[in-house]
Chains A and B, each alone.
Chain A
Amino acid sequence: MGKASVIPFGPQHPVLPEPLHLDLVVEDEVVIEAVPQIGFVHRGLEKLVETRDYNQFIYVAERICGICAMGHSLGYAETVERLMGVEVPKRAEYLRCIWHELSRVHSHLLWLGLAADAFGFESLFMHCWRLRERVLDIFEKTTGGRVILSVVKVGGVVRDIDRSMFDEIITTLDGVAEEYKAILKTLLNDTSIKNRTVGVGYISHDEAVNLSMVGPFARASAVPYDVRSFGLGAYGDLSDFQPITDTAGDCYARMKVRCYELLQSIDLIKEFIAKIPDGDIDVTVKGNPADGAEACNVLEQPRGECYYYARGNGTKNLARMRMRTPTSQNLAGMVHALKGCDLADVNMIILTVDPCISCTER
């Protein structure tokens, strides 16, 4: 065995769109320990609830993370609604879920592209991002924004989608699904991809449970945990929802889970559109959260379960707003998966966790 040495990884690194620093302790090209260091993106968002009222904070909440922007605004709005006992119209719940599932489609396509880029498959990266543009076009047509949608408010949503737009969404998604299935053949069957992913960064079922992993990272290790199956909001009206899982627990399994979740999301959107009821899209919210009132909420973000907690103090500002994001749950699993891997596999393992650092640090 050679002498152990430390290789710094990040914060500026070609595979990482976000700053994450890892000290990789390596011995003969094998990583024996990975020490993560975060704090590059910390802004101190949770403290902003003291200066922004509960209606304004929703715009801060969706800027926690640009990839899961829709999810965070939805999670925050649901928490405050629960805190104040507001009943949201059914149509608003459906519209929220449609946008949320659309953002899962865009997030997974984004991730598949970045993963392809990580193992040097540049053209696949471009194909994934080309398809993603079409989902962003739907966002732009229905909300006006590509990334930050600003469409959810406390008490409902600010925009409705009409029938002709729904038809257009379905046509676009059918087109995306068809082209995506062609890419899927390469993603799942290509030898060069399999060589880089199969058996790499293995996490067993027990480890996944012990390390409290969430999202596709856990589901790839046969943990069938998906908040959507709790039936919150419009998800309760789905005829059947089964989380997509895999038993292999390696990078390939994580990729496979995300690949199929994307198709599942497209099916969910179609089901929501078929079932959406008519009616109002918002209710007027009056008053302030009561002093000492508490509420919590969970939501399945593209990266896994996200937990929200809010406490009122009788004024228009909340006393406390707290989020526990999927990536902070998964960091322990990531460090565990990195132990004993080859140095060349580090990017692949980090990428398959799909870390979202700006969610984690806020």
Chain B
Amino acid sequence: MAFASKSPWVIHYDGSSCNGCDIEVLATLCPGFDGERFGVINTGNPKHADIFLVTGSVNEQNIDVVREIYDQMIEPKVVIACGICACSGGVFHDCYNVMGGVDKAIPVDIYAPGCAIRPETLIDAIVQAVGILDEKSAAMREAKKGA
């Protein structure tokens, strides 16, 4: 188990979500579901984060912001699309200002559907993300050895 997967830090960005998923992301880390007891800590700094939680779909205005946050994160990193809007655009898929899911902007590792996403789904997604984080860091170590 790598260091990052013992206490994965998350960063949250609201693409063009309706807030429903955002407050569920925060609720997951607060008492009640208490993601923090597993070391999942919300940070505002992309450089400290291992897991990128994106809620809502992308549009012309925010696609660069999503890319910028993703680029600032340090490898290994995992992206979770939280909620159906982030997965595919959801109920807003045919709005004129919705380009689609977050995968239009950055590579998404885990799709966590729901409208709004339920904290249980998100916890499940973070547990999966920790596994991917381990795989990615193992692959990075291998690549270093080979070099």
Q: Which residue of A lies closest to B66 (CB)?
A: A12
- Say what secondary structure dominates the interface of chain B: loop
Which of B17, B30, B56, B95 is A45 in contact with, Cβ under 8 Å? B95
C-alpha spacing A14/B43, complex, angstroms: 7
Q: Which residue of A lies closest to B92 (CB)?
A: A43
Q: Among residues 131 to 158 in chain A, which have CB atoms less than 8 Å away from a CB atom of chain B?
A: 132-133, 136, 146-148
**Chain A interface residue count, Cβ-Cβ cutoff 8 angstroms:** 40
The yes or no answer to A351 lying at the interface (CB within 8 A) is no
Q: A11-B62, A146-B116 are in contact. Are A358 and B19 (CB under 8 A)?
A: yes
Which of B20, B65, B97 is A63 in contact with, Cβ under 8 Å? B20
The yes or no answer to B105 lying at the interface (CB within 8 A) is no
C-alpha spacing A14/B57, complex, angstroms: 20
B13 to chain A: which residues have CB within 8 Å? 12, 19
State whether A43 touches B44 (Cβ < 8 A).
no
State whether A43 touches B16 (Cβ < 8 A).
yes
**Chain B interface residue count, Cβ-Cβ cutoff 8 angstroms:** 39
State whether A66 touches B65 (Cβ < 8 A).
no
Which of A11, A42, A125, A130 is B97 in contact with, Cβ under 8 Å? A42
Q: Which residue of B lies closest to A17 (CB)?
A: B22
Which of A13, A14, A42, A125 is B16 in contact with, Cβ under 8 Å? A42
Could you say which of B13, B57, B61, B92 has the most chain A C-beta atoms within 10 Å of its C-beta?
B61
The yes or no answer to A23 lying at the interface (CB within 8 A) is no
C-alpha spacing A148/B18, complex, angstroms: 10
Could you say which of A42, A64, A66, A136 has the most chain B C-beta atoms within 10 Å of its C-beta?
A66
Write the residues of chain B forming the contact surface with A, with a CB cutoff of 8 angstroms.
Answer: 12-24, 26-27, 30-32, 43-46, 56-57, 59, 61-62, 65, 69, 91-92, 94-98, 115-116, 118
